[in-house]
């Protein structure tokens, strides 16, 4: 039997502790599958005295994760520190430069420095595995990087943030407000004390940028993604979507067009009959559209200690199965130096149309003014619904457009707002008809 694979783990939080536990509990099975033992040889964390509920055995303790990353006594460095700078970046860079393989769950690090780190890994002949960085326990990276060789991908989209999906699911099922649901999510540990990164779409954007690079062969461009979060989704939107036969999801969408690659993150109305509309709670789902395979949908746990640890252990096991002299594949499916600069697609009509909710004063001429602004911007309306005025003499107007340019929709809504007819902030949500 081959010599043991020596693993060094930096970061012993929920995920790190779960990885240590799984490697210990599944040691015999992993040895059979990989043809060699996997041992935790060294660890690093902020404090040594903290009770973590896992046995670290004879693992060497390092106060400095960079020193651990450089250590000649490990073969694989597992980075579970988090953050796109500081110790996380320094330690991963140091490990790769030392020729060590690296496993990370850090999507923020990859979104910002992934290409540069990939160049180091490929130069040094080291593996940089990151299955846990996107969609938790769903093996989407392995699928796109290895199993779909020869397929030309035209579109990749999905639900990539469990926190947002949990909130939207409960808002629909229980009729509670966004704020109340967010507080519950924080209490249950699904949302951070500062939830901005999740609910405003940043987390989804980081993950989408990695998937887009894998799909289309361009350099990661997380800063060029159009992004909207879910903090302004109200019960009025949830109810209106249901009445129209739709369900609201926060989607990340990347697709190839004639003029470049379009990347966007935003709340989206999807038909309730579609597969992606059936993905509830903290579950994630990723759809990949290709020329050979057609459409593939992967769904499963998107977050949590066990789901993420499963992906990390899978990456470690892949390294354990490789042998000296084996030529590893490129980190992002193509050699890092051959990744093309990102070319943003030109704005085009959105085939699914738009949902527009307007809360207006109940007075003569308002509806005619709305219709006029839509016509001025050459927006064709599929349906118009009016809800009766409430006690404050306000009424809600729901518009659903045919295929339209987003710039035209935004211009029309801005004009209606400036006309002084609205009592509340307008809502505009894309509708995705095709799955």
Q: Would you name the residues annotated as active-site residues?
A: 207
Helices (H), 175-279: 178-187, 196-199, 202-216, 235-243
- For the beta carbon of residue 323, count every other beta carbon within 10 angstroms: 9
> Could you tell me which of 256, 4, 209, 248 has the C-alpha nearest to residue 114?
209
Backbone angles phi, psi at 356, to 5 degrees: -130, 120
Joined together, the tokens standing for residue 333 give: 């499916």
Is residue 356 a contact partner of residue 417, using CB atoms and an 8 Å limit? Answer: no
Bridge partner residues of 252 (DSSP):
158, 265
Burial of 368 per CB tally in 10 Å (0-12, 13-18, 19+): exposed
Bridge partner residues of 159 (DSSP):
285
Burial of 306 per CB tally in 10 Å (0-12, 13-18, 19+): middle
How far is Cα 246 from Cα 238, in angstroms, rounded to an integer? 9
> Could you tell me which of 263, 360, 307, 188 has the C-alpha nearest to residue 180?
188
Burial of 369 per CB tally in 10 Å (0-12, 13-18, 19+): middle
Q: Which residue has the tokens 């989804």?
A: 204
Joined together, the tokens standing for residue 384 give: 């118009």
Burial of 40 per CB tally in 10 Å (0-12, 13-18, 19+): buried
How far is Cα 353 from Cα 349, in angstroms, rounded to an integer? 8
How far is Cα 377 from Cα 381, in angstroms, rounded to an integer? 12
Joined together, the tokens standing for residue 284 give: 């994630």
């Amino acid at each position: 039997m081959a010599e043991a694979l020596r693993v060094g783990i930096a970061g012993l939080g929920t995920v790190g502790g779960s990885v240590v536990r799984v490697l210990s509990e599944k040691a015999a099975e992993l040895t059979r599958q990989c043809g060699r033992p996997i041992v935790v040889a060294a660890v690093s964390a902020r404090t040594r005295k903290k009770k973590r509920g896992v046995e670290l055995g004879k693992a060497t303790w390092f106060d400095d994760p960079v020193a651990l990353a450089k250590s000649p006594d490990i073969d694989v460095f597992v980075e579970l520190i988090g953050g796109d700078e500081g110790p996380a970046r320094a330690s991963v860079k140091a490990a790769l430069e030392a020729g060590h393989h690296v496993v990370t769950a850090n999507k923020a690090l990859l979104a910002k420095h992934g290409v540069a780190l990939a160049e180091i890994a490929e130069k040094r002949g080291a593996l940089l595995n990151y299955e846990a960085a996107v969609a938790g326990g769903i093996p989407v990276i392995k699928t796109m990087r290895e199993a779909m060789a020869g397929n030309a991908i035209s579109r990749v989209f999905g639900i990539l943030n469990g926190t947002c999906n949990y909130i939207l699911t409960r808002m629909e099922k229980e009729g509670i407000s966004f704020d109340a649901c967010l507080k519950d999510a924080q209490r249950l540990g699904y949302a951070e004390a500062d939830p901005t990164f999740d609910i405003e779409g940043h987390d989804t954007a980081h993950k989408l940028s990695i998937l887009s690079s894998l799909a289309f062969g361009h350099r990661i461009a997380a800063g060029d993604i159009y992004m909207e979060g879910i903090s302004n989704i109200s019960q009025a939107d949830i109810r209106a979507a249901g009445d129209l036969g739709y369900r609201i999801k926060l989607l990340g969408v990347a697709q190839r067009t004639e003029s470049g690659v379009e990347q966007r993150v935003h709340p989206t109305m999807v038909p309730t009959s579609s597969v992606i509309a059936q993905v509830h709670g903290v579950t994630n789902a990723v759809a990949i559209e290709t020329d050979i395979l057609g459409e593939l949908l992967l769904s499963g746990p998107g977050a949590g200690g066990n789901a993420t640890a499963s992906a990390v252990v899978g990456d470690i096991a892949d390294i354990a199965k490789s042998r000296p002299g084996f030529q590893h594949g490129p980190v992002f499916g193509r050699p890092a130096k051959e990744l093309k600069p990102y070319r943003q697609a030109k704005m085009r009509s959105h085939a699914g149309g738009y949902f527009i909710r307007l809360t207006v004063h109940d007075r003569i001429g308002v509806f005619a003014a709305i219709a006029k602004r839509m016509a001025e911007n050459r927006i064709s309306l599929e349906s118009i619904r009016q809800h009766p005025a409430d006690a404050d003499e306000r009424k809600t107007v729901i518009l659903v457009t045919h295929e339209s340019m987003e710039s035209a929709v935004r211009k029309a809504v801005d004009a209606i707002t400036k006309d002084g007819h609205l009592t509340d902030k307008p809502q505009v949500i894309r509708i995705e008809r095709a799955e």
